[in-house]
């Protein structure tokens, strides 16, 4: 029961889960389906020896995962099987008729889906956007150095337990033929795969959080007893850090809007909606009361409660605190981008600084916009274009890709369009890119996002040649 509670805490209270859930990314569904495929295969196959059901269930979940993230789900599922501890037995099961039958049905379903559904890419949308984005600039050596550090950061606070299942001294407590051997292979192989990929991100390792949680839960009780002093100190440090974070969140939520802490910081915090402050403050005050009672008034709290109960409780409180700290920032950031999108559509007035100035653009109503608007960007500004309520077509080079059959076009661009076949005029206010946090490149710091209206130039009539 304790192992299951710890495993659930690893999945629910790690920073990687919080990061992906806040942004509603497909990686969280990908992690669930792929982990379920591995768990069902091991439970029904090696443990219960029902190999036909094991392959059918696992490949069915992988098929759903392919619909979520594309073909990389197939690679991540099958790759660990080639590095298993018992290759003869596993190779015999992979060559069995049950596996080949399930695999043929799996391939047939993929062909039917991609053939008759239409416009469904075999790659994930994240990979497609990455291919159309600018070249990856981070060096490979730098990636090799930063990838482990980022992985440790995303696993916090469970990074201090992640090493225990891979320690040789703790493997003696595992029964022979148990699941930790298989799950260690899954984690090691896929981690090395993304570590050696120049464009690999630690968030791609989210499907490995389930197997890692099982391993941590399996070794948690033994590790907490053997390293009791270290983990007791960790709990106290985590508790004090949580108290400091709670104090900062409470101060920000109750502070007036015109307060100034650092350049570019309070400009976003000041835009926190008023309705977000009371529940966030109440949520922040609850951990303050709890931690004050446990760690300030009662110094013997650690001896009265077990180490596992204290750790899970403190991690739970720290997660509530992180949520209370991140939600206002995310709300302010998304409100700012929505406000900029409505400015581009001329639904809301410009900022206060632009009200005093004479507008340098011709304001048009949203009804005057055509059904299709072009976007001069390969990787950004989709949030802002959503509020135009029109079909968006991306362009890499407007001068070559715009059709000369259209007399009037609308183009959203970070700069004045370099398409000489049209006469361009701005029809929206300027929005600085650095203000909304799209780019940190110094070469694009002075650029603005704007909506332009282009009218096709009339070609001069050919002169008549006298006979």
Query: Stretch 212-240: mean pLDDT, rounded?
Result: 77
Pair 12, 136 in one domain: yes
- The residue among 202, 226, 250 that closes a domain is 226
Rounded CA gap, 23 and 43, in Å?
32
C-alpha to C-alpha distances, 43 to 40, 127, 232, nearest whole angstrom: 5, 32, 35
Pair 313, 167 in one domain: no
Rounded CA gap, 438 and 25, in Å?
18
Rounded CA gap, 156 and 15, in Å?
6
The helix or strand, by DSSP H or E, that contains position 425, with its residue range, turns out to be strand 422-426
Residue 61 pLDDT greater than 80, yes or no: yes
Query: Stretch 445-456: mean pLDDT, rounded?
Result: 70
Residue 440 inside a domain? The answer is: yes
HSE of 350, CA atoms in CB hemisphere, 13 A = 17
Question: Could you tell me whether strands 372-375 and 391-394 are parallel, antiparallel, or unpaired per DSSP bridges?
Answer: parallel
pLDDT at 123: 58
Residue 446 pLDDT greater than 50, yes or no: no
Residue 221 inside a domain? The answer is: yes
Burial 260-270 (b: 16+ CB within 10 A, else e): eeeeeebebbe
Residue 467 inside a domain? The answer is: no
CA angle, 360 as apex, 356 and 361 as ends, to 5°?
120
Domains of the chain: total: 3
Cis amide leading into 157 (omega within 30): yes
pLDDT at 437: 46
Residue 37 pLDDT greater than 80, yes or no: yes
Pair 20, 146 in one domain: yes
Pair 169, 30 in one domain: yes
Residue 353 inside a domain? The answer is: no
Residue 465 inside a domain? The answer is: no
Query: Stretch 351-371: mean pLDDT, rounded?
Result: 64
Residue in the block written with tokens 């992985």: 151
pLDDT at 302: 47
Residue 182 inside a domain? The answer is: yes
The helix or strand, by DSSP H or E, that contains position 394, with its residue range, turns out to be strand 391-394
Pair 196, 316 in one domain: no
End-to-end CA distance of the chain: 101
Residue 247 pLDDT greater than 80, yes or no: no
Q: What is the pLDDT of residues 123-182, one digit of tens each?
A: 555 555 555 444 445 567 887 888 888 888 888 777 888 887 777 777 777 666 667 788
Residue 422 inside a domain? The answer is: yes
pLDDT at 296: 43
- Dihedrals φ, ψ of 429, to 5°? -70, 165
Residue 403 pLDDT greater than 60, yes or no: yes
Pair 316, 303 in one domain: yes
User: In a 10 Å sphere around its CB, with 0-12 CB exposed, 13-18 middle and 19+ buried, how is residue 166 labelled?
Assistant: middle
Cβ atoms within 10 Å, residue 164 = 19
Pair 336, 441 in one domain: no
Cβ atoms within 10 Å, residue 372 = 12
- The residue among 295, 316, 344 that closes a domain is 344
Residue 348 pLDDT greater than 70, yes or no: no
Pair 273, 239 in one domain: yes
Residue 351 inside a domain? The answer is: no
- The residue among 175, 209, 226 that closes a domain is 226
Task: Give residue 76's pLDDT band: very low, low, confident or very high (50, 70, 90).
Answer: confident
pLDDT at 343: 73
Pair 19, 51 in one domain: yes
Rounded CA gap, 46 and 35, in Å?
16
Pair 16, 102 in one domain: yes
Residue in the block written with tokens 């080079």: 397
Pair 213, 339 in one domain: no
Domain that holds residue 397: 358-456
Pair 316, 433 in one domain: no
Residue 39 pLDDT greater than 50, yes or no: yes
pLDDT at 264: 43
Select, from the ranges 24-38, 130-144, 157-171, 312-326, the one with the highest average predicted confidence (pLDDT). 24-38
Q: What is the pLDDT of residues 83-119, one digit of tens each?
A: 776 655 677 777 788 889 988 998 898 888 877 765 5
Length of the chain: 467
């Amino acid at each position: 029961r304790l192992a299951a509670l710890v495993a659930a805490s690893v999945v629910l209270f790690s920073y990687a889960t919080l990061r992906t859930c806040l942004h509603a990314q497909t990686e969280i569904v990908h992690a669930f389906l792929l982990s379920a495929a591995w768990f069902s295969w091991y439970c029904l196959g090696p443990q219960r020896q029902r190999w036909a059901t094991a392959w059918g269930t696992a490949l069915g979940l992988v098929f759903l995962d392919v619909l979520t993230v594309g073909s990389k789900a197939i690679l991540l599922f099958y790759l660990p099987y080639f590095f298993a501890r018992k290759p003869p037995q596993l190779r015999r099961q992979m060559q069995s008729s049950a596996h080949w039958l399930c695999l043929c049905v799996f391939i047939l379903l993929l062909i039917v889906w991609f053939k008759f559904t239409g416009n469904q890419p075999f790659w994930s949308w994240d990979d497609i956007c990455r291919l159309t984005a600018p070249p990856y600039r981070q060096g490979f050596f730098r990636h090799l150095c930063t990838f482990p550090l980022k992985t440790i950061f995303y696993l916090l606070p469970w990074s201090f337990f992640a090493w225990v299942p891979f320690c040789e001294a703790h493997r003696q407590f595992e029964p022979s033929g148990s699941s930790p051997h298989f799950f260690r292979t899954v984690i090691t192989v896929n981690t090395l795969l993304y570590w050696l990929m120049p464009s690999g991100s630690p968030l791609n390792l989210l499907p490995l959080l389930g197997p890692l949680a099982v391993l941590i839960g399996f070794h948690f009780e033994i590790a907490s007893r053997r390293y009791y002093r270290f983990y007791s100190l960790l709990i106290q440090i985590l508790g004090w850090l949580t108290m400091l974070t709670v104090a900062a969140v409470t101060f920000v939520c109750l502070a007036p809007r015109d307060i100034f802490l650092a350049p570019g910081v309070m400009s976003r915090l000041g835009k926190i909606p008023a309705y977000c402050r009371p529940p966030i403050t109440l949520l922040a005050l609850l951990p303050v009361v709890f931690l004050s009672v446990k760690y300030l008034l009662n110094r013997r709290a650690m001896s009265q409660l077990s180490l596992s109960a204290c750790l899970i409780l403190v991690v739970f409180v720290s997660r509530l605190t992180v949520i209370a700290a991140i939600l206002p920032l995310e709300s302010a950031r998304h409100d700012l981008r929505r406000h900029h999108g409505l400015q581009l559509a001329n639904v809301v007035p410009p900022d206060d600084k632009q009200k005093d100035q004479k507008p340098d653009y011709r304001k048009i109503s949203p009804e005057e916009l055509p059904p299709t608007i072009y976007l001069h960007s390969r990787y950004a500004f989709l949030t802002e274009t959503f509020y135009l309520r029109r079909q968006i077509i991306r362009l890499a080079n407007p001068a070559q890709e715009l059709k000369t059959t259209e007399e009037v076009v609308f183009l959203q661009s970070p700069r004045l369009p370099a398409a000489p076949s049209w006469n361009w005029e701005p029809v929206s206010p300027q929005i600085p890119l650095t203000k909304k946090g799209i780019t940190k490149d110094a070469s694009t710091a002075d650029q603005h996002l704007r909506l332009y209206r282009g009218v096709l130039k009339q070609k001069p009539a050919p002169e008549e040649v006298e006979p």
